[in-house]
Structure 1
């Protein structure tokens, strides 16, 4: 920002991201005069975006008051749509879950029906919490497929027939009257994990292993989505030696997802005579230590690790996190992935690499959705536009 010309939105961004803590620090960073800074701060406090909490002692003079983004005053509706479930949560800006509900819902359902379901559930959560739509900053939605972020529409998602280019954000915005932001679920899980546990990590790869397989790449705290939303779509990488493998729902054969996903494990167990109907059934068998299931999971982990070894060599990330229903059921998948990665990469690529399970578990996507909404609705440009609009109305 040009020295001495920082807008109210740019000041909020400095406070919200923790780059400054006091008015004195704001003056030093922005170069604003004391009077101009006072005007900007009055705008932000009147809008309920910034408050002063506590004090920090200085070397001279009176202790300075600490500036804080009013997280608790901002509400977000976060939606995690998986292959077979819908997790909807009302969360405040600081991450506290106020109300939530998880339901069985097949993502292959007609998209308009899913939008109506989400809208109904959002209304129920607000009613249960005694809150209103007017208090909500926005809605964040994660889906298990590629999203073209510039259009906010799914882009040929293999597991979601009928969803390609469907205006999810527009339809939900019309239903709720709120800003809506759509992204791939693995991106949101990675964003949630990065902000919660690895804030200082320059790069993080989050791998979701549920009914399918997907990855989110987080660089310097933000998702790297690729030109068409396909970054991290590792479930459809062909496995060496699987050219004549099973047909995948993407139309190719021998994809990683056909051998190493929760859906693939369910199929393999069913073929072995086990009474398994879903990825949740597989997870229960893993947790119970069923020998056949554990053996199949270890094989899946080695296959996944072989693919991820290339990603580790290419990106040299600082953190690799595994999440989703299968990794959360037991340590076997993580151990097998780690073994394959270390076998197939040079020490330089792994010497400073942390490989871990998700610390947020089932909440990773909704927490990531919260960050997505806050980042978008409280960006410098968005805040300045709202303050200008409010001032115009008053005038």
Structure 2
């Protein structure tokens, strides 16, 4: 397929003549065009205009010409690519008990990484200060201080008002509600700071890395908690206030309405979350398990009661996902989270119920697959979140127009 006909479902909108270097870069990063000739053909711009806009990107350090030659009707052209080493991204994936901190390049490639036993219960000020010190130490140790920082991406296991960058409402992050996370971090970091729900970042990572050509994706995380994320028309859909995808706290009737951590009864998470399965296994056999990690350990040891509980959880989870399938009609459903990592026990139940309950039209071409990530999906999602923001064509064009550098040196 030629450069001029290649498209991605989540690729750029049709070219508008007034657009500048940012859109040229977007064409390159999405794979729609990667040579001067290809860009000119796709946009209708003259070669001299294309050259001027590429010169701005080269001057900003964002672009490089590779040694690879791309065949064309005339002379072979050298391929243009984003210079992934042009800036650093700081990615932070905060979990209930552990926090993963990484420094990545602009392609989400990890340059330095640490996993710390930093729990959300430590409170925002202490945890954010510790993360700041950790990041500074990592940059120094990896000798990355001379490379500018593009931005910081944070993933939180809580509902997040994306625009405000704050946790809002009930969550496991006690003490974080409405705390000004971005303001706290800006005491140290004068760069874009993007904060989102952790499942949205998992969704973004899965789509950008593996399913970019599929415009509609539903991601289900089944771990200690339960959540979901949606890609619609190639973009993560957060809803009006950032609450979209909170599938774990919809009510599922017919299963006894157990107490949920959120205070309500009968939530999906209270039936199939890792903490709920551990609770039920404790009640049956006086075990000491507390979360998804403990349930997975029991399944891996071949514990028949734990295996049966996980299979049942798959069917209950399938009830909720079937509703979402009929509502959203995704191309792909990706099942992730710790409970999905042990064989096909959870997946089998989800598949069974979706195909029973959803309309044939919604499932005719539907793919239901396990996540392709083994780990680090949250970090990758944080990196893609920052990259999408700082390389947004309008943002980048405004920066270059005033002669500013796109990233900041600390």
Confirm or deny a common fold (TM above 0.5). Answer: yes
Q: Identify which of 29, 36, 40 aligns with 2:42.
A: 29
Quote the residue 1:73 is aligned against: 86
| Residues 312-346 of structure 1: per-residue CA shift (max 9 Å, x gap) | 11111111111111111332111111112122223
Quote the residue 1:246 is aligned against: 258
* Residue 357 (str. 1) matches residue 370 (str. 2): yes
Q: Identify which of 41, 55, 65 aligns with 1:52.
A: 65
Unaligned residue ranges in structure 1 (runs of 5+): none
For residue 186 of structure 2, give the secondary structure of its aligned residue in structure 1.
Answer: helix
Quote the residue 1:282 is aligned against: 295
* Residue 140 (str. 1) matches residue 153 (str. 2): yes
* Residue 174 (str. 1) matches residue 187 (str. 2): yes
Cα offset, 1:152, TM superposition: 1.8
Aligned residues: 390
Task: Answer yes or no: is the 8 Å Cα contact 2:226–2:273 preserved in 1.
Answer: yes
Spell out the pairing of 1:18-167 with structure 2 (5 A cutoff). 18-53=31-66, 54-60=68-74, 62-132=75-145, 134-167=147-180
| Residues 25-64 of structure 1: per-residue CA shift (max 9 Å, x gap) | 222333333333322211110111111112212123x212
Change (3 A) 1:13 1:308: same
Task: Answer yes or no: is the 8 Å Cα contact 2:101–2:113 preserved in 1.
Answer: yes
Higher helix share: 1
| Residues 249-272 of structure 1: per-residue CA shift (max 9 Å, x gap) | 322111111110011112122223
Cα offset, 1:134, TM superposition: 4.9
* Residue 184 (str. 1) matches residue 205 (str. 2): no
Quote the residue 1:378 is aligned against: 391
In 2, the alpha carbon distance for the partners of 1:329 and 1:102 equals 23
Change (3 A) 1:294 1:45: same
RMSD: 1.9
Unaligned residue ranges in structure 2 (runs of 5+): 1-13, 406-410
In 1, the alpha carbon distance for the partners of 2:16 and 2:326 equals 41
* Residue 298 (str. 1) matches residue 287 (str. 2): no
Question: Which stretch shifts more, 311-320 or 343-352?
Answer: 343-352
For residue 252 of structure 1, give the secondary structure of its aligned residue in structure 2.
Answer: coil
Quote the residue 2:350 is aligned against: 337
For residue 78 of structure 1, give the secondary structure of its aligned residue in structure 2.
Answer: strand
TM-score normalised over the length of structure 2: 0.90
TM-score normalised over the length of structure 1: 0.93
In 2, the alpha carbon distance for the partners of 1:391 and 1:133 equals 17
For residue 99 of structure 2, give the secondary structure of its aligned residue in structure 1.
Answer: strand
Task: Answer yes or no: is the 8 Å Cα contact 1:322–1:356 preserved in 2.
Answer: yes
In 2, the alpha carbon distance for the partners of 1:307 and 1:391 equals 48
In 2, the alpha carbon distance for the partners of 1:216 and 1:133 equals 36
